[in-house]
Amino acid sequence: MKKTILTGLRPTGNLHLGHLFGAGQNYVKLQDDYDFYLEIADVQALTDNFNNPEKVRENIKEITMDLLAIGIDPKKVNIFIQSKIPEIAELTVFYSNLVTVSRLQRNPTVKSEIAQKKELFGNDGESITYGFLGYPVSQAADITIFNGELVPVGDDQLPLLEQCREIVRKFNSIYGDTLKEPEAYLSKTTRIKGLDGNDKMGKSLGNAIYLVDSEETIANKIMKAVTDPNKIKKDDPANPDVCMVYYYHKLVNDEDSLKVVCSECKKGARGCVLCKKELINKMNEFLKPIKERRKQYEDNPELVKEILENGTKIAKDKAKEQMKKVRKAMKIDY
């Protein structure tokens, strides 16, 4: 029997290169060998977009098309919408009794995201909602409702997975051996840096290249990318290891070309403008087949709807079976 994989994405924007070369690379790689459930986490998206439901609703379709465009096969992966599986919400309520507020506040991922919100919005955390603080509990329900054994994650998400494992252990210690402890599946590239050199790529930071970006948009973004600050003149030798242009060349360029870029950079035999223009061409060439596949789904919205409906039905059937076991263990299977 195939092991079960569960992962999810919040529908708050289109996929960017960080998704593609991080978790997305795993999705395509793993879909042949596992019972794969891929959640469009609209409920969790509402934890910090509760006042903008239109954004979340529209991005369900957008992110689904992105996933299909990068090579996710709907015959192999069950893509489903979180809010259409009420068993997840039910299990979240049960788990909320097993986790203290102080434990949630100590979660490194939650602490980091709260700090980022304080910096962005200039408040002291008073706007942090109960739903936002408790979303690791919801994520634990997402995983265990499908008996998820492997979870493709970036290293920044490991504290959330550990919280899930703690909940599983606590549940099993009280109600008997019912749930499986999931394991992390890390990609070789666990996180992609932004064009500005930031360790994380994201919409709020304005440092990402999105799969749907036009050629003109990609060109404008790459021309602003951070290079070696010590390279003042065109012919100055530079250090490619601190240059984001070279960093992105490594993502989309071939090995022989990379050697030339690296060598010429170190010798001062190439200017940054030329290097950026080469990267623009390589990036657009790399993204072209992805955009072409996406266009096919854009032209067939009914097919996207059907894929989501089919995936959600399969997910719902599995969730119902798992909840029967959970209720029986908790002695509430009246």
pLDDT tens-digit map of 138-154? 999 999 999 999 998 87
- Written as one letter, the residue type at 301 is P
Helix ranges, 23-134 (H): 23-30, 42-45, 53-69, 86-96, 101-106, 108-121, 130-133
Domain with CATH 3.40.50.620 in the chain: 4-193+301-329
Q: Could you name the CATH architecture of 215-293?
A: Orthogonal Bundle (1.10)
Short-list 150, 152, 114, CA closest to 135: 114
pLDDT of 120 higher than 60? no
The pTM score is: 0.90
Q: Which residues contact 171 (CB under 8 A, 6 or more apart)?
A: 95, 98, 178, 179, 329
Give the 3-state secondary structure of residue 186. strand
Q: Which residues contact 19 (CB under 8 A, 6 or more apart)?
A: 9, 66
Q: Confidence class of residue 122 from pLDDT cuts 50, 70 and 90?
A: low
DSSP string, 162-184: HHHHHHHHHHHHHH-S--PPPEE
Domain with CATH 1.10.240.10 in the chain: 215-293
Please report how many Cα atoms fall inside a 13 Å half-sphere around the Cα of residue 280, on the Cβ side: 18
Short-list 160, 151, 159, CA closest to 26: 151
Which homologous superfamily does the CATH classification assign to the domain defined by 4-193+301-329?
HUPs (3.40.50.620)
331, two tokens: 């002695």
pLDDT in tens, 41-84: 999 999 888 899 999 999 999 999 999 999 999 999 999 999 99
* Measured torsion, CA atoms of residues 50, 57, 189, 149, in degrees rounded to the nearest 10: 90
